[in-house]
Amino acid sequence: MPLPSIEVPKYKLKVPSTGKMITYRPFLVKEEKILLTAMETGDDESVLLQALFDILEKCIETKNVNIREFAPFDMEYIFLQLRAKSVGEEAEMNIVCSNEECKKSFEYAVNLTDLKVIKNKKHTNKIQLSDELGVIMKYPNMEIANTFFKNSDTEELFKMVASCIDSIYTQDEVFSHKDHTAEELENFIEQLSPEFFQKIMQFFETMPTMKNELDCKCPFCKKETKVVVRGVDDFFI
């Protein structure tokens, strides 16, 4: 006689960058094992990142969804919502009181469903460089962003910026990134004036993030203190 099967609930959420609805299920013990195994590696972020990809790919049931092309804030938002439905809506964080006369640490329960993607009102993916020239940008995926922030060198910066060009337009033509090589796009970036390059960099500087600021009260001195939650890193890395 076969063992009883357990019905797993399904949920829907909206991908922040696209507005598209996806269906997902909570992660099970077999997926939690993937995460725990990755966390045992310590500070190897590439292993942890691969674990996030593996879990999302198994739990998102919507067809034709390329997890690896999600923007970093998409990945973090979806994973935290997934974690809330799988383990529980609250996650403990270790907080240090901001009161200089106290500075004691304490545990604080963060409700993961309260965490939102924070958007900058000045953010736009359409960058008008001049009256004749502009670019349409797309978000870096998690792997590209992670490579840049891990190395933070000039070469990786230019590669990231070039990879995020969706199209270049003039008054008469539109040049899609699909029709040009990575080298051609990098050359285009290198030929820009510093003023134009800075306009493009504002796209990255104002990009949505999972950085949330929450208020809590220190249980020792009773003073209000700020809790800054930066996303997945604060809970799993």
Q: Which residues contact 84 (CB under 8 A, 6 or more apart)?
A: 112, 113
Residue 229, number of CB atoms within 10 A of its CB? 20
Asked whether residue 231 carries a pLDDT value surpassing 70, the answer given is: yes
Q: What pLDDT, on the 0 to 100 scale, is given for residue 43?
A: 67
Asked whether residue 35 carries a pLDDT value surpassing 60, the answer given is: yes
Average pLDDT, the chain: 92
CA atoms of 112 and 77, how far apart (whole Å): 9
Asked whether residue 236 carries a pLDDT value surpassing 90, the answer given is: no
Asked whether residue 187 carries a pLDDT value surpassing 90, the answer given is: yes
- Nearest alpha carbon to residue 32 among 94, 73, 93, 85: 85
Q: What pLDDT, on the 0 to 100 scale, is given for residue 155?
A: 86
Both tokens assigned to 109: 């329960």
Average of pLDDT values for 60-73? 94
